[in-house]
Amino acid sequence: MANSTRFETMNDIFRSSIEKFGNRDLFGTKKDGAWHWTKYEEFGGMVDAFRGALSGLPGDGGVKRGDIVAIISDNRVEWAVTAYATFGLGAALVPMYEAMLDKDWEFIAKDCGAKILVVAKKDILEKTKKFFDSVPTLKHIICLEDVEDTDKIHSYSKLLKAGKKAEIVDTKKEDTACLIYTSGTTGSPKGVVLSNGNIASNVSAVHEIFDMKDDDRSLSFLPWAHSFGQTCELHALFSNGASIGICESVNKIIDNLAEVQPTLLFSVPRIFNRLYGAVQKQISERPGLVQAMVRSALAAAKKQREGGTLSFGEGIILGLANRIVFSKVRARFGGRLKYAFSGGAAISRDVAEFIDGIGVMVYEGYGLTETSPISTANWPGSRKIGSVGKAIPGVKIEIDPTQTGGKKPEAGRVEGEIIVHGPNVMQGYHNRKEENDAVFTKGPSGAERGFRTGDMGYLDKDGYLYITGRIKEQYKLENGKYVVPTPLEEELKLSPYIANVMVYGDNKPHNVALVVANVDAVKKQTGAGASGDELLKDPKVVDLIKGEIAKYGEKFKGFESVQDFALIDKDFTTENGMLTPSLKLKRRAVLEKYGPMIDELYKKKKAEKKPASASA
C-alpha cells in the first residue's frame, strides 16, 4: 500500500495540500503558445479570495453553510477555485457541462435550488439571465469572463480583487459536498447527493492503493463535472501534490500530450480506442517484417506480464520492437507516461493488452457517480487485465443473481446485479424518494446500506470483478436468448472503418446494427468516389463493413451476432442528443430517429426468407 493518509472532508484535503505542496506546480494552462503553471500556494490564495467573495455577496446572497453553488464550465483553474471555495463555506457544488442544453441547465438550477450560478463565458451568461425569473432561489450569476457588473451579475476577476475574507467552515463528513446530475439515457437528470465523506473516502482509498508521487503529472481532458474526472483526477492528484495540465480541447489531446509530458493518463475507453486505432493503422502501413516483429513482441510482453520467463529470442524481439516502434508510440504520449487509468465503461481487452504491451501499464476500475465513483480497481500488485479489479479499501461488492433476467450460474461463477456497500455510496437522489427506495438495500448483516448499480457482473475466486453488461440494456430475442449489446458494440468500434454503432434486437429474431461509417477511412480503403447516401450504398463499402462486423464480432456467440446492418454517416454526439455528456449512448434517442431504418432491415430479411420457405 502507498500510504495511510485519511481525509474526512474536502476541507481536510484543501488544507493538507496547500500546507504540504505550496511551491509546487499545480495547474498548467496554455496561453499564447506556451504553458503557464499555477503553484499550489497561488491556487490557495485564489480559493481564499473567492471564498470571501462568495460569502460577501450583497443582500442575502452571500453563501452560507448548506447553500448551493452551481457552475457551468469546462475544466479550468477557476472551476477548481469555485469548487474548493464552495466546500470551504460548507456549501454544495453543482457542476454542469457547457455542452448541455439551456433547458437542462435551467432544470438542474431549479431542482437543486441554486443560490449562486457561476458561468464560464458571456454567451452562457446571456442564456442564463432568464433564470432569475424561473429559478426562485437564484440570487447572483458570476461570469468567469469580464462583464459589466450589476447588483445581481458579477465578474469573477473583480470579486477576487475585492479582497474580502471568510474563514473556512468546520464541515462534517456527513455534510453535502456535491450534487452531480447524471444525465442518464432516459428521463430527466437526477441529482446524486455526495457528502464530504463520500468523496473523501474515495480519495483516501486512492492514497492507500496507488503510489502517486508529487512529481506525477496528468493531462486533464475528462470533464470535472463528471465524478470520474473530478474525484479520480482533480481531487486525488491535488491531494498527492501532483500537477495537472488542462487540455486545450479534445482535438488537441495528442499535441498537448507531447507538450505536457504526463506520467499519468485518466481516460474513458473511447479515447483509448481512438489512440489504439491510430497506432494500429500506422503499424499496418509498415513492412510485413516490422508487423510480424510487433506481433511477436506483444505476445512476449503478454507472456512476461502473466509471469512467464522470456526466452533469449523473445527478449531480443521485445527489446528491438521497443526501440523501433513502441518508444515512438510512447513519445506520442509525451515519453514519460507510466500508467493509464480507464473508467466510465469497459475497455476492450485487446486495447488494454496493446497499451500494456507497448510499455504503458493500464489500470481499469469500476464505479458510478452514485459511488463517488470508485468501487473497484486494479492497482500495483493486484491486477488482472479484463477485470475491473477488486473492491477498494472500505468497500464491499455483493452479487445478486435474482436480477439478471434468468441468467444461470456458469463455470462455477455466479453472475448477477452488482451491489456496492461502503462509505462511498451516495446519500441518495435529490428529491427522488421512489427511486431511492428502488436502489438502496440492506447489507447481509441488515445494518449497512447497499446500492443496486443496475450493472451485471461476477466475482472470480480471487475477488476480481468482471462486468458483463447493464440490466436495463439487455434484451431478449424471439428465441428467448438474452443479449447485452454493449460489449459487442465496443468490440465493433475497434474497426478503423466504424466510428460508432448501436446493436438492436429486442423481441426480434436476430440482432441488427446501425453503423456510423468512418467516411474518410472507408473512402481511402475502397477508393469509392461518391459521398453521402451514394457512398454508403456502394457495394464495395457495404462489403467492407460486412467483413469488419464478421471480423470483430467473431468472439461472440452465434445468437449474439449481427445479421444485418444499416449505414449512416452522422455520428452520435452530445450535440445531437444521441450521447450523454459522459459519452454513453442514448438508445431511445437513436431509436426515435433511426427506428424506421432498423425496421426496414427486419422487413428485408423477412422478404429474403420467403422464397426459401415457399420452395420447402
For residue 499, with 0-12 CB atoms within 10 Å meaning exposed, 13-18 middle and 19 or more buried, which class applies?
A: buried
Q: Return the pLDDT at 262.
A: 97
Q: Return the pLDDT at 270.
A: 78
pLDDT in tens, 400-452: 998 665 455 555 688 899 999 999 999 999 999 999 999 998 754 444 689 99
pLDDT in tens, 134-175: 999 999 999 999 999 999 999 999 999 988 899 999 999 999
Is the distance from CB of 178 to CB of 195 less than 8 angstroms?
Answer: no
| Mean pLDDT along residues 247-256 | 91
User: What Cα–Cα distance (Å) separates residue 370 from each residue in 428, 430, 447, 583?
Assistant: 8, 12, 19, 17
How high does pLDDT run on average in the chain? 91
The cell for 124 is: 452562457
Backbone torsions φ then ψ of 66, nearest 5 degrees: 90, -5
Angle between helical axes of 77-88 and 40-55 (0-180°, round to 10): 60
DSSP state for residue 370 in the 8-state scheme: G
Structure confidence at residue 474 as a pLDDT band (50, 70, 90): confident
Which residues make Cβ contacts (< 8 Å) with residue 72, sequence separation at least 6?
96, 97, 98, 100, 105, 117, 118, 119, 120, 124, 128
With DSSP H G I counted as helix, E B as strand and the rest as coil, what are the percentages for the chain, rounded to 5? Answer: 40, 25, 35
pLDDT in tens, 501-524: 999 999 999 999 999 999 999 998
Structure confidence at residue 67 as a pLDDT band (50, 70, 90): very high
Q: Give the residue with greater pLDDT, 5 vs 342.
A: 342
Look at residue 32 and tell me whether its pLDDT is greater than 70.
yes
Query: pTM of the prediction?
Result: 0.87
The H-assigned helical ranges of 334-427 are: 349-357
Q: Give the chain's domains with CATH numbers.
A: 10-266 (3.40.50.12780), 474-615 (3.30.300.30)
Look at residue 485 and tell me whether its pLDDT is greater than 50.
yes
Structure confidence at residue 480 as a pLDDT band (50, 70, 90): confident
Look at residue 614 and tell me whether its pLDDT is greater than 60.
no
Q: Return the pLDDT at 370.
A: 96
Look at residue 616 and tell me whether its pLDDT is greater than 50.
no
Look at residue 133 and tell me whether its pLDDT is greater than 50.
yes
User: What Cα–Cα distance (Å) separates residue 579 from each residue in 80, 184, 538, 572?
Assistant: 26, 9, 28, 6
Structure confidence at residue 4 as a pLDDT band (50, 70, 90): low
CA gap 448, 108 in Å, rounded: 30
pLDDT in tens, 216-227: 999 999 999 999
